[in-house]
Amino acid sequence: MGQKSIKVTAPATVSNCGPGFDIMGFAINTPVEEMIVRLTNKPGIRISKIVGDKNKLPLDVKKNTATVALHHMLARVESKFGVELEIKKKMISGSGLGSSAASAVAAPFALNELLGKPFTKKELMEFALLGEEVASGSIHADNVAPCLLGGFVLIRGYNPLDIIPLAAPKDMFCTILHPQFEIKTSEARKLIRKNFYLHDVITQTGNVAGLVTGLLKNNYELIKRSLHDLIAEPARATLIPGFYEIKEAALSHGSIGCSISGSGPAIFALSKSQEEGIAIGRAMKKVSSKYTKENIVHVSPINRVGPRIIG
């Protein structure tokens, strides 16, 4: 069968992207998830160990996003081999950085490489989404899609799934402030209202259209005008101590846009250079440290590749 094991990384992702609730996301270079996937003679799927998760993630293959994705993938392969995983988490669950999506992407990507790439990216997306469903309770592609494809993506629709890769300015950087506590996506979703005024929907739609256009045209001023959210951010800001003060610190230090990454508590801020991104991160961390004891900052260009083989 050729190669028996492979080591891969899958990137963290920012979902929602301000006004793009459930329909936009992008990948960043750091943090990443590392995973070793091995082919074994014994049929079935097994997780040998998970490190870096503070013993929170399940070893049960029916509950882990990586192994559920593999289960659906192996159902399409006629083989007597088995698969064993080692998972190294570098982003905790409930971070708002697509931790569960990274697992759901890394496993089928790695196995596909070991098998000689019998599946397309579209098919890998299907397996990863079914894995991610275990964590989120429903199908959401705004973390899985950018994790697998890299770059910015727009999810135009889910029935059928219609994913559109988006171009973005080449010099764009993302600063992530990650206060070290957990927010469960299921709990964060409960805070969002079910009904909105028509004028708010119109404003939100205009912001999404403006953000997409700004990315495609490398227009930072348009991106800045458009990166405003009337749906998720106002509801979820209450879960992040000092959020609006942190956001103001980012904007006052040159960020072209700042909002909550996914369900939080991670907060993202976009900038035009690494130097600006570092300065923005210092300012955000200084404010957040007044409210949360431990905060981690990442400054990264946009990841335009997705998962990678590293060994």
Q: How far is the C-alpha of 82 from the C-alpha of 38, rounded, in Å?
A: 8
CA atoms within 13 A on the CB side of 170: 0
Catalytic residue among 132, 133, 233, 276: 132
State the pLDDT confidence band at 259, using cuts at 50, 70 and 90.
Answer: very high
- Tens of pLDDT, residue by residue over 150-177, are 999 999 998 889 999 999 999 999 999 9
Please give the sequence-ordered ranges of beta strands (E in DSSP) within 187-277, or none if there are none.
257-260, 267-271
Catalytic residue among 9, 175, 185, 292: 185
DSSP 127-165: HHHHHHHHHHSS---TTHHHHHH-SEEEEEEETTEEEEE
User: Would residue 205 show up in a list of annotated catalytic residues for this protein?
Assistant: no
- Tens of pLDDT, residue by residue over 181-194, are 998 887 888 899 99
Higher pLDDT, 55 or 7: 7
The encoded tokens of residue 146 equal 């950018």
The per-residue pLDDT for 134 is 80
The encoded tokens of residue 82 equal 């088995």
Q: How far is the C-alpha of 149 from the C-alpha of 144, rounded, in Å?
A: 8
State the pLDDT confidence band at 2, using cuts at 50, 70 and 90.
Answer: low
Tell me the domains of the chain and their CATH numbers.
Answer: 5-166+304-309 (3.30.230.10), 173-301 (3.30.70.890)
* 264 φ/ψ sector (left φ>0, alpha ψ -120 to 50, else beta): left
The per-residue pLDDT for 186 is 79
User: Would residue 84 show up in a list of annotated catalytic residues for this protein?
Assistant: no
Q: What are phi and psi of 133, to 5 degrees?
A: -60, -30
Which residues lie below 8 Å from residue 300, measured CB to CB, with a gap of 6+?
A: 28, 29, 30, 173, 174, 176, 277
Question: In sequence order, what are the beta bridge partners of 8?
Answer: 35, 309
Task: Tell me the mean pLDDT in the region 87-95.
Answer: 86
Rounded to the nearest angstrom, the gap between the alpha carbon of residue 158 and the centroid of all alpha carbons in its chain is: 18
Q: Is the pLDDT of residue 301 over 80?
A: yes
Q: Is the pLDDT of residue 1 over 80?
A: no
Q: How far is the C-alpha of 266 from the C-alpha of 261, rounded, in Å?
A: 5
The per-residue pLDDT for 159 is 87
Task: Tell me the mean pLDDT in the region 11-18.
Answer: 96
Q: How far is the C-alpha of 39 from the C-alpha of 153, rounded, in Å?
A: 32
